[in-house]
Structure 1
Amino acid sequence: MSPPVLEVSALTKHYGGVHALDGVTFSIARGELLALIGPNGAGKSTCFNILNGQLRPDSGSVRLYGRDITGLAPRRIARLGVGRTFQVATVFASMTALENVQMALIAARGQVFGLWSPARRMGREDALALLEQTGMAALAERPAATLAYGDVKRLELAMALAGDPALLLMDEPTAGMSGDERQAMIALVRQLTRARGLAVLFTEHAMDVVFGHADRVVVLARGRLIADGSVEAVQSDPAVRQVYLGGAPASISEAP
């Protein structure tokens, strides 16, 4: 059995008397789509920000393929193979979709300070290949400012893949999308997870996305991990039902 891509061990972060994370432990394997869910204030954002180096934990460790990356700078963690997308997509609005991905490739390859050849030619074929993988090839020459929101999210995904990550962190990848758009986006992520052998950790409030596509689900509540298992196991877990539905017998898939 191959080693986990990511191992999170006893991760703890306090803000005064508030336990944002309290001994959180989980792992994720290559080719696995893992959902990290929980009510507002559960600790999801704190966890993500520690994983990609924006925050330092008070204690605990984060290992990528067995290498301790706890507390490293975001740029260094990215270079080691951790990509990230954000709830609010961040792209260069004045650039075309193709140029956005080219810039992501240039940054990932450390070529930003060596642009003695025109940037428009650098990484063009690789950028087009990433746009093809994310269903954006037909919109390659469109300025990002003119793209529909769902297309901007797919463009951001292509940019995150430019660094050829082993682990991809996705913060609310379907936020702001319609039901059909949500399903199409997460199906694309699932396909790329399998095809590229990625490990994908994502947060999501849309339970139809989580329980329709995740391989496994980790649940946080008040900074503590209360469940880690298959979709079926988490849906039937009494502690999870209590957190989301106050113990009601209805399916957790009805939760907002």
Structure 2
Amino acid sequence: MSSPVLEVSALTKHYGGVHALDGVSFSIARGELLALIGPNGAGKSTCFNIVNGQIRPDSGRVRLAGRDITGLAPRHIARLGVGRTFQVATVFASMTVLENVQMALIAARGQVFGLWTAARHRGHGDALALLEQTGLAAFAARPAATLAYGDVKRLELAMALAGDPALLLMDEPTAGMSSDERQAMIALVRQLTRARGLAVLFTEHAMDVVFGHADRVVVLARGRLIADGSVEAVRDDPAVRAVYLGGASITLSQTP
């Protein structure tokens, strides 16, 4: 069995008397899509931001492919092979879809150019390949400002993949989408996870996305990990139903 891409060990973070995280541990393997869920205030964002380097834990460690990255700055963590998308997608609206991905490639490769005209042909083929993988090749020449919201999220994904990450962090990847858009987006992420051998950690409030597509689910409540297992095990866990979902009144059906 290969070593985990990401190992989170006994993470603890306190804000005064509030235990945002209390000894949380889990790992993610190559090719695995792991959902991190929990009610508001469970500690998801704190955990996510510690992994990304935006917050330093009070104790505990974060390791990427065996390397301790605890407390490193986000830019250093990105260079070591961590990509990220955000709940509210941000792209360069005035640039074309292709140019957005080219800029992401230039940044990932540490290339610096004084003028965009000197850089616009850099990474053209690689940018087109990423657009092909994310279903946006037909929109390459369009200004990003003209894209539908679901396509903006796909563009952000293509940009996050520009650094060829080993680990991809996705904060609410389907937020603001319709049901059909949600399913298409997470199916694309799952496909890329397998094809590229990514490890993906994502937070999500839409249970149809979580229980229809995740390989494994980690559940937090009040800063503590209360469940870590397969979709089926977590879906049927009484503690998850009681603490996170408010009992049996919510049906956790798996999307076909």
TM bucket normalised to smaller: over 0.9
Cα distance, 1:196 vs. partner?
A: 0.2
Q: Does the 8 Å contact 1:85/1:170 carry over to 2?
A: yes
Secondary structure of 1:162's counterpart equals: helix
1:32 aligns with 2:36: no
Q: Does the 8 Å contact 2:221/2:244 carry over to 1?
A: no
Report the equivalent of 1:107.
107
Report the equivalent of 2:65.
65
Distance in 2 between the 1:195 and 1:89 partners? 23
How do residues 111-130 of structure 1 correspond to structure 2 at under 5 angstroms?
111-113=111-113, 118-130=118-130
Cα distance, 1:119 vs. partner?
A: 1.2
Report the equivalent of 1:77.
77
TM-score (norm 1): 0.96
Distance in 2 between the 1:116 and 1:34 partners? 38
Q: Does the 8 Å contact 1:12/1:58 carry over to 2?
A: yes
Q: Does the 8 Å contact 1:61/1:68 carry over to 2?
A: yes
Secondary structure of 1:252's counterpart equals: coil
**What amino acid does structure 2 have at the position aligned with 1:200?**
V
Report the equivalent of 1:209.
209
Distance in 2 between the 1:204 and 1:109 partners? 30
Q: Does the 8 Å contact 2:36/2:219 carry over to 1?
A: yes
In structure 2, list runs of 5 or more residues that go unmatched.
none
Distance in 2 between the 1:113 and 1:222 partners? 47
Report the equivalent of 1:190.
190
Report the equivalent of 1:176.
176
Per-residue Cα deviation, 1:183-210 (whole angstroms, up to 9, x for no partner): 0000000000000000000000000000
Q: Does the 8 Å contact 2:211/2:252 carry over to 1?
A: no
In structure 1, list runs of 5 or more residues that go unmatched.
none
Cα distance, 1:115 vs. partner?
A: 6.1
Q: Does the 8 Å contact 1:37/1:44 carry over to 2?
A: yes
Report the equivalent of 2:17.
17
Q: Does the 8 Å contact 1:235/1:251 carry over to 2?
A: no
Q: Does the 8 Å contact 2:34/2:200 carry over to 1?
A: yes
1:152 aligns with 2:152: yes
* Identical pairs, percent: 90
Q: 1:7 to 1:114 in 2, by over 3 A?
A: farther
Report the equivalent of 2:44.
44
Q: Does the 8 Å contact 2:113/2:119 carry over to 1?
A: no
Distance in 2 between the 1:245 and 1:196 partners? 33
**What amino acid does structure 2 have at the position aligned with 1:181?**
E
**What amino acid does structure 2 have at the position aligned with 1:135?**
G
Aligned residues: 254
Cα distance, 1:245 vs. partner?
A: 3.2
Per-residue Cα deviation, 1:15-36 (whole angstroms, up to 9, x for no partner): 1111111100000000000000
Q: Does the 8 Å contact 2:183/2:209 carry over to 1?
A: yes
TM-score (norm 2): 0.96
How do residues 125-144 of structure 1 correspond to structure 2 at under 5 angstroms?
125-144=125-144
Distance in 2 between the 1:116 and 1:206 partners? 39
Cα distance, 1:118 vs. partner?
A: 1.3
Secondary structure of 1:39's counterpart equals: coil
Q: Does the 8 Å contact 2:211/2:253 carry over to 1?
A: yes
Identify which range, 148-157 or 36-45, moves more after superposition: 36-45
Secondary structure of 2:210's counterpart equals: helix
- Aligned Cα root-mean-square deviation (Å): 1.4
**What amino acid does structure 2 have at the position aligned with 1:153?**
K
Secondary structure of 2:120's counterpart equals: helix
Secondary structure of 1:8's counterpart equals: strand
